Structure 1
């Protein structure tokens, strides 16, 4: 009696393993705090969400009318927005359309370690400022997000925590799964994450971008006698991994994972690697959590923020002129892997504690809501 019904809105539905890692950690946090709460996930693919989280209700939100959205929102006691990088130009307005309907109906809003930016278009800035001004609590996952919100004109207090994925528990990734993927036994393994170039390589065409990363792969093969395992975090990453491998002279030493793995399994996979080089934020977070030495190839401020928090060197983007420094940094990473791993391990413990800050903020909101709900029921 009097149990809460909580809605969760984010980029969920299986398109990106990082977003699914956030959802997994977020739901685990809510279950820990409110074991009997009813959880409703607004998903881009409700069938996927239900298959991976059978103890929730999953509903669509894209292309859904205000009337239909309101029918679901009317059943909620709280709407949680986030986490993940969802408040950016042209995308923010889509999520906040649902939030506006919720706030029009008096539903409290909490942002859960949300990622923000770039945010320059007036429509998105205005909607972010308007909706988050009315939020019960605003938590963001990094300093960059706080700065972007402040520059958008938000005056509401903002709490900086950390990405919810830092609270994810690893699942076992047995070695036979690597063998089934064609990864050989008896070799050092380097995990590699590549994605579309975007802002990471604005001055390179896709072919040149693939060639540059192929040189990193070849360097690792010859420098440390390693096989390179490409870990797709989105389906399109497979295409770019093939593009990189097609330019490697040692392409026979590369493998691309094609299995359908959960975020917890990919986190468990990391323990098999000796080194990690990558672009995807959550691939790098997983490497850090597994205490694997890693080199970020930044494509956005969120990756720079991670590198800064963990004290890890990071090159600013990918371009032809950074080929030498890039390979030198990979070489240095291998030579200094033991000392770096020790240093990063201490920083990761600090960031995990920061990630728990989101949970503490959420707990206070939920306890307040539950007290009011019980008071109504017993009145």
Structure 2
């Protein structure tokens, strides 16, 4: 009886004792005003940061908010959001896109907020996007490239804002005279995508040559910079560093707070992942950005930072980002527009 009473008072805590599939069935039925779907539980620190910001920003406005994994297609919420991340694409197949668009379009109100749009490869994906996206109540995207990729398939109304992760504050840790380093695993790690599609997505011609050059560049950068330390944003980052780099590695932890503090504690940052660049910008660190795909180029340009393709010649110079305050205002605009649309 006491267990039953506890479960009634604390349904989310009780749900954690269930298998994953059962947890999500329970969560869908717990009363909530807004459901937000994204890749928040995959182990990627940047995606976890997005989920945290959506929950914080919406609950501050009084909305009961539940986060759902990327495969979710239903919830009890009448207001449904695709929340940040590069979610609108079919580069790994159209199945993920179908689930995302089914989720956001099945409620009474649907929103895509602060999302990235790598583009639509197949005819099926273009047709699906052209039917669903114009019917959403609000679409905001994190960069101009994403807006252009939507406009290439339909006439939906799209507002360029910035990634919601920019809403974090610098924890202002004491610095340690170290250079933070983040490299992600490269081309070969995705077994569920063809080489032809991968070449189109990343914009490279010879994947094997690009991968080998990328690894050599990562090693040479670590040999050239002062007092490097590796900061992983996913478990795969840590494995890549263990395999290819001879530098200290801070063990991966699935914590936005801990990772942001690590970035705040270094003097400068080599940033390959999209959100490692944003974390470094939030902390106003001099940065060397390596743009492994267009989304990194987009945010580097908005920060007035020179950037390099990671498989090309790289000049090891660190630059301090500009426009961080403006991008933070743009990130807040995601939620200002969302609240206005919902009310």
Q: What is the TM-score when the length of structure 2 is the normalising length?
A: 0.79
Write the distance in 1 (CA, Å) between the matches of 2:38 and 2:109: 16
The number of aligned residues is 296
Q: Deviations over 1:289-324 (max 9, x none)?
A: 1011001111111100111101000123413xx1xx
Kept in 1, the 8 Å contact 2:235–2:252? The answer is no
Q: Does 1:194 align with 2:165?
A: no
Shift, 1:4, TM fit: 6.0
2:68 match: 42
Moved over 6 A (4+): 172-175
Aligned to 1:353, which of 329, 333, 343?
329
Of 274, 290, 300 in structure 1, the residue corresponding to residue 267 of structure 2 is 274
Task: Let me know the Cα RMSD of the aligned residues.
Answer: 2.4
* Greater mean deviation of Cα atoms: 289-298 or 9-18: 9-18
Equivalence map 1:54-133=2 (5 Å) = 61=72, 69-70=73-74, 72=75, 75-89=76-90, 90=92, 93-100=95-102, 103=105, 105-133=106-134
Which residue matches 2:28? none
Question: Residues of 2 paired with 1:307 and 1:255: CA distance?
Answer: 27
Counterpart selection for 1:16 from 40, 44, 50: 44
Question: Structure 1 residues 93 and 236 mapped into 2: Cα distance closer, same or farther (>3 Å)?
Answer: same
Q: Which residue of 2 aligns with 1:148?
A: 149
Match of 1:178 in 2: none
Cα 1:239–1:207 change in 2 (3 A) is farther
Return closer, same or farther for 1:98/1:302 CA change in 2, 3 Å cut-off. closer
Going by fraction, where is helix more abundant, 1 or 2? Answer: 1
CA offsets 1:157-198 (integer angstroms, 9 cap, x no match): 1010000000024558689xxxxxxxxxxx631111111223
Which residues of structure 2 form unaligned runs of 5+? 1-30, 188-201
Aligned residue among 277, 299, 303 for 1:310: 303
User: Displacement of 1:278 after TM fit?
Assistant: 2.0
Structure 2 vs 1, CA of residues 165 and 96 (structure 1 numbering), >3 Å: closer, same or farther?
same
Gap runs ≥5 in structure 1: 45-59, 62-68, 176-186, 221-225, 246-250, 334-339, 368-379
Q: TM-score, normalised by structure 1?
A: 0.72
Secondary structure at the aligned position of 1:287 is classed as helix
